[in-house]
Amino acid sequence: MGMYYVPEVSEGVFWVGAKDWNRRIFDALIPLPYGTTYNAYLVKGKEKIALIDTVNPGFEKELVDKISQITDLASLDYVIMNHAEPDHAAAIPHIMQMGENVTLVTTEKGAKMAQVYYNVPEDRIKTVNDGDTIELGGKTLKFIEAPWLHWPETMFTYLVENRVLFSCDFFGTHTAFGLYDEDVEEILSSAKRYFGEIMMPFRNMGRKALDKIKELEIEIIAPSHGPIYKNPDRVLEAYRKWTAGETEEKAIVVYISMWNSTEAMIKTMVETLMSESIEVSLHDLSRADIGEIARDLVDSRAIVLGTPTVLGGMHPLAIYASYLVRALRPPLKYGVVLSSYGWSGGAIKQALEVLGPTKIELVGSFEINGPPSNEDFQKIVEIGKQLSSKIKG
Ligand SMILES: Cc1cc2nc3c(=O)[nH]c(=O)nc-3n(C[C@H](O)[C@H](O)[C@H](O)COP(=O)(O)O)c2cc1C
Ligand SMILES: [Fe+2]
Ligand SMILES: [Fe+2]
């Protein structure tokens, strides 16, 4: 018995990952209210042993100690690199240095990245293609190319005999809580937030990957962040919807206001949408969690953006939010922009520039001088009703 908890999550498959309870930001961008995990798995066959993915910098020793509770590092044969991003691959050089017989297994693109990012010598890398397998003795690892989930080199690894899919970032959740899906309340909400942040821009590639794994019998999905799915059906169905871009009768409202004029416009819009039975989620950009915005973008059909004019354009936080909406490529269909200005305006023009390249159909834009008048409120109600009828199709 060692000091670490190294659960056997499927026969001969051990979780040797790390929990980063206190991490609060990812990619220098995404807030992590519940921390995160870096899942790594040790697969023990009768003849050979493979490690699937590793951990974030700073957790190398923990990983090695956990592996050592199951096996001597000298007897490790393979490290499977499903993804080259440092949260899963940074510990690879450490493992390969300690385990002298270890071969790195990855895609062709992954092989190049392993050399560039981690200085792995070419002669210690085995490149695999879609459908290739490696025998561990009673355990077969099958590799499934799944590019752009979430970098170009990504793949899944399927453990045939156990019917376990190691999907790396795909199906991930940023949380340190729980080991299995059943341990975490509201798991799908957290999974959706993660999907919005990480996978939404690659929805098409996600659809292709889902198609590829459709024929597989999957008993367990073991991603590289967050809980392991013992009941994969729910998350598979959610991913089918999210990658297909299926939206709800729902509007996401993001706004910023310095002196409450834009805010008053937004409030009237929200009341109108609610009176038309549209589900609304509201985010004040001065205190918004962009992870929640990303989550709500996954299935909202419309967006309402509110911003005053500041120095001839949008408020900087509204520029940030609009740019994020453009970059994350949500399945939004309709949009409305509301704005208040003091002397010459300019916010709406910039909003339309930033959002121009998206497929969002502009249902209305309304720019007023100073605080809204009664007529202005009437006009907003009108735009809100138009937007509602578009949303309801
Ligand atoms: C820092 C700052 C910069 C501003 N720059 C502009 C501007 O360039 N052009 C303009 O028409 N109004 C400008 N305004 C005026 C606001 O757009 C105006 O007061 C508006 O009604 C504020 O809306 P809000 O109450 O939603 O914050 C500026 C106001 C502030 C505080
Ligand atoms: Fe990643
Ligand atoms: Fe990751």
- Considering the domain architecture, whether residues 95 and 140 belong to the same structural domain is answered as yes
Residue 375, Cβ density class (10 Å: 0-12 exposed, 13-18 middle, ≥19 buried)? exposed
What does the block give as tokens for 203? 């929805």
Residue 119 domain-assigned (yes or no):
yes
The pLDDT of residue 2: 76
For the chain, how many structural domains are there in total?
2
- Considering the domain architecture, whether residues 205 and 296 belong to the same structural domain is answered as no
Domain CATH for 80: 3.60.15.10
d(CA 217, CA 231): 12
- Considering the domain architecture, whether residues 230 and 307 belong to the same structural domain is answered as no
Last residue of a domain, one of 244, 269, 295: 244
- Considering the domain architecture, whether residues 199 and 256 belong to the same structural domain is answered as no
Residues in the chain: 393
pLDDT by residue, tens only, the chain of 393 residues: 579 999 999 999 999 999 999 999 999 999 999 999 999 999 999 999 999 999 999 999 999 999 999 999 999 999 999 999 999 999 999 999 999 999 999 999 999 999 999 999 999 999 999 999 999 999 999 999 999 999 999 999 999 999 999 999 999 999 999 999 999 999 999 999 999 999 999 999 999 999 999 999 999 999 999 999 999 999 999 999 999 999 999 999 999 999 999 999 999 999 999 999 999 999 999 999 999 999 999 999 999 999 999 999 999 999 999 999 999 999 999 999 999 999 999 999 999 999 999 999 999 999 999 999 999 999 999 999 999 999 999
- Considering the domain architecture, whether residues 203 and 290 belong to the same structural domain is answered as no
Ligand 3 centroid from CA 84, angstroms: 9
Domain CATH for 284: 3.40.50.360
Last residue of a domain, one of 210, 244, 278: 244
Distances (CA, A) of 65 to 6, 36, 88, 104, 320: 10, 20, 17, 20, 42
Question: Which of 263, 266, 305, 309 has most ligand 1 atoms within 8 Å of CB, for mutation?
Answer: 309
- Considering the domain architecture, whether residues 258 and 368 belong to the same structural domain is answered as yes
The answer to whether the beta carbons of residues 250 and 299 sit under 8 Å apart is yes
Run of H or E including 338: strand 334-341
- Considering the domain architecture, whether residues 167 and 265 belong to the same structural domain is answered as no
Ligand 3 centroid from CA 43, angstroms: 20
Question: Which of 311, 338, 369 has most ligand 1 atoms within 8 Å of CB, for mutation?
Answer: 311
Ligand 1 atom nearest 312 alpha carbon: 8
Q: Is 286 in the pocket of ligand 1 (CB under 6 A)?
A: no
Question: Which of 259, 267, 341 has most ligand 1 atoms within 8 Å of CB, for mutation?
Answer: 341
- Considering the domain architecture, whether residues 240 and 271 belong to the same structural domain is answered as no
Q: Is 370 in the pocket of ligand 1 (CB under 6 A)?
A: yes
* Residues with Cβ within 8 Å of residue 369, at least 6 apart in sequence: 340, 341, 342, 345
- Considering the domain architecture, whether residues 146 and 200 belong to the same structural domain is answered as yes
Residue nearest to atom 19 of ligand 1 (CA): 342
Ligand 1 atom nearest 263 alpha carbon: 26
Ligand 1 atom nearest 256 alpha carbon: 26
- Considering the domain architecture, whether residues 91 and 211 belong to the same structural domain is answered as yes
Residue nearest to atom 29 of ligand 1 (CA): 310
The pLDDT of residue 1: 56
**Residue 105 corresponds to which amino acid?**
V
The pLDDT of residue 71: 97
Ligand 3 centroid from CA 172, angstroms: 8
Instruction: Tell me the residue range of the domain where 344 lies.
Output: 252-387
- Considering the domain architecture, whether residues 233 and 259 belong to the same structural domain is answered as no
Residue 328 domain-assigned (yes or no):
yes
